[in-house]
A and B are shown apart, each in its own frame.
Chain A
């Protein structure tokens, strides 16, 4: 009972809003741009890609569980560079964070930067993926501990596919804004969530960031709905901390 009272207290303290019975006379506030969500159009594309993805996953699944990860192989010179890039860039967004807080002027630049980084990472992953696939074709014998850098591709895909089902993307979002939400998770061994944290969570309460807030909340909902997450049965130390980057831009563009 005390809990209930305490819970409802702040709400009770709020002044009720007096509604004038007649039509109030106010001008419409007009923002610069119409938000054109193409979202439903994206549905088809997503379904297509989903099918594709499912296919890929099922194709990959058996070998990938044993798939060999790069660090365990002797890397090609090109690959090595790529790897370093990935790691450095991945750390970057967190290092940049204080700057983002300081000034909104920088924010855009920095965030654009993270996007580019994300793109780079994606590219790197694509390269990685094709290489792994090739490797799988050539030799199946390379069974290794896969957790030197984390998850294998198929493990990552399984996790992605799981979250895909849980994430109800807010359909009204604009497609031309930078809307990347990064969530850091601490996981238990069974894949349930111990702690979740939005990395730029101070941005949520900034004026003019309503869309970001909506997206961040939807991402959090997705993660919570999905738990326990589909994590590998072993290598807990490697994935107990996990970062998910939610980026709806591609989808919203349709």
Chain B
């Protein structure tokens, strides 16, 4: 405006109309001028969806470390790096590059990488680290570098007992995953499952627990009695499962750390399909009597038992929503087995599946907006997900026999088990754990020492 008023000075005595015309003309010319100088904008709405190329340099082991000459210690850096690589590869989101192409020594790279060299091998991110063992404590530090920006993205250090080195590798993986995807990781977690062995008609079933990557397997029961459906407490210390101990099929509670076990409640009949409430304070399960089964909860502190459903049909497989307000379960009250959702007090029961076939084992996602399920249709089994109102059903995988999906703590991956068809005498039979992304891609078999079924994924061990 200032500019226009100074330019108007010589015309001060002109008629008002002329002034307006002049201003108008000025405005037009200004518009034209600004148009020619307008910043060029280009919209980028597409990119490539290949996994991100990432280089994980072996961690440098400090020469001052205790027991440095020990081969185990010397190789610790390589071992941690390969665990991180394996974790990344399994996500399907990252592409860890081969070490043969690495151009810089781990110790130098950790201090200051030569970014241009790493860029040459097409890496976009680089992980470096250093290990020191002192006073019987393991100190691991790592840095994540953005190679194109030539800067550090994150750096952290951990101290722990040396035997804990695998967990450190998982925690580092989680931190990097979170930094690069914006989403929480799921590597520092465990999976509890039923380890199976022996011929099909004489299966020995034990409770087993392992790290998410299949290592550190431990057996929690001896295999003298049949065990089924172990489920983690969100607080991780406790597990609930069903056991045929003394031929009395009941729901049990097991403290992983102390090994103590107890029966849940005092039911005059079979209890099964247990699961914890999201706060870990209640167990929800089915109780069967006289051919009818209904859903009950038991408060672990007060031991008060509450009946949730009261129907002449078979109601089972209950699963709480993560806010604890709703329960999903399956029931055959409409004829065929379908999935229903109700309030946590048992009110407002709504059927949510209407598709062809039989639906079962609903499990609410830890993020709350999806329910995973097993579906059987024309003799084939499917694992799928749908919204909590039953819409948007997506079948992720189809097979001869598979069931029991369980969520990764970030709600991105499902683990389930799959059995193969056996011959007349049970030959060729196997049961394995598999995982799949909720996108329906990246299906992988989890490595277990024995055959396995009924997996349950823990939440993150450290946060």
Contacts and interface: CB of A to CB of B under 8 A. Distances in A.
B459 interface: yes
Given A7-B112, A30-B366, A169 B49 contact: yes
A170 interface: yes
Contacts of A20: 160, 462
Interface string A168-181: 11111100000000
Contacts of B438: 34, 36
Interface stretch (A59-67, A100-108, A134-142, A246-254): A246-254
Nearest to A36: B438
B280 A27 contact: yes
A7 B110 CA distance: 11
Given A16-B141, A251-B47, A27 B279 contact: yes
B161 A149 contact: no
A46 B367 contact: no
A17 B38 contact: no
Contacts of B31: 84
Contact of A225 (B148, B156, B171, B278): B148
A87 B157 CA distance: 50
Contacts of B148: 220-221, 224-225
Interface string B244-281: 00000000000011000000000000000000001110
Contact of B158 (A11, A16, A71): A16
Interface in A1-26: 3-4, 7-8, 11, 14, 16-26
Contacts of A7: 111-112
A98 interface: no
B276 to A, nearest CB: 11
B397 to A, nearest CB: 14
B101 interface: no
Contacts of A82: none
B146 A164 contact: no
A83 B146 CA distance: 40
Interface string B439-463: 1111000000000000000011111
11 contacts: A23-B236, A23-B257, A26-B235, A27-B459, A29-B463, A35-B411, A121-B43, A151-B40, A225-B148, A243-B39, A246-B47
Contact of B46 (A90, A164, A172): A164
A242 B39 contact: yes
Interface string A75-110: 000000001100100110000000000000000000
A148 B38 CA distance: 9
Contacts of B160: 18-21
A150 interface: yes
Interface of A: 3-4, 7-8, 11, 14, 16-43, 46, 49-50, 71, 83-84, 87, 90-91, 118, 121-122, 148-151, 156, 159-160, 163-173, 184, 210-211, 213-215, 217-222, 224-225, 238-239, 241-251
Contacts of B141: 11, 16
A83 to B, nearest CB: 7
A43 B92 CA distance: 14
Interface string B204-233: 000000000000000000000000000000
B1 interface: no
B164 interface: yes
B41 A90 contact: yes
A160 B460 contact: no
B322 A241 contact: no
A246 B235 CA distance: 40
Nearest to B365: A34
A170 B40 contact: no
A207 to B, nearest CB: 12
Interface residues on B, range: 35 or more
Nearest to A122: B43
B230 to A, nearest CB: 16
Contact of B41 (A164, A218, A221, A245): A245
Interface string B33-52: 01110111111111111111
Contacts of B442: 40
A242 B146 contact: no
Interface stretch (B57-65, B180-188, B336-344, B415-423): B180-188
B64 to A, nearest CB: 16
A90 B148 CA distance: 29
Contacts of B111: 4, 7-8
B168 interface: yes
B428 interface: no
Nearest to B52: A168
Nearest to B41: A243
Nearest to A220: B149
Contact of A168 (B50, B158, B168, B256): B50
Q: Could you say which of A3, A28, A148, A243 has the most chain B C-beta atoms within 10 Å of its C-beta? A: A28
B121 to A, nearest CB: 13
Interface in B273-328: 278-280, 322-323
B124 interface: yes
Given A28-B460, A159-B42, A250-B45, A170 B181 contact: yes
Q: Which of A213, A224, A247, A249 has the most CB of B within 10 A?
A: A224
A220 to B, nearest CB: 6
Contacts of A213: 182
A163 B44 contact: yes
Given A34-B412, A166-B47, 6 more contacts: A14-B157, A17-B159, A168-B47, A170-B181, A221-B148, A224-B149
A67 to B, nearest CB: 15
A83 B463 CA distance: 53
Nearest to B236: A23
A244 B44 contact: yes
A117 to B, nearest CB: 10
A19 B167 contact: yes
A25 B235 contact: yes
B237 interface: yes
B366 A83 contact: no
Contacts of A23: 236-237, 256-257, 461
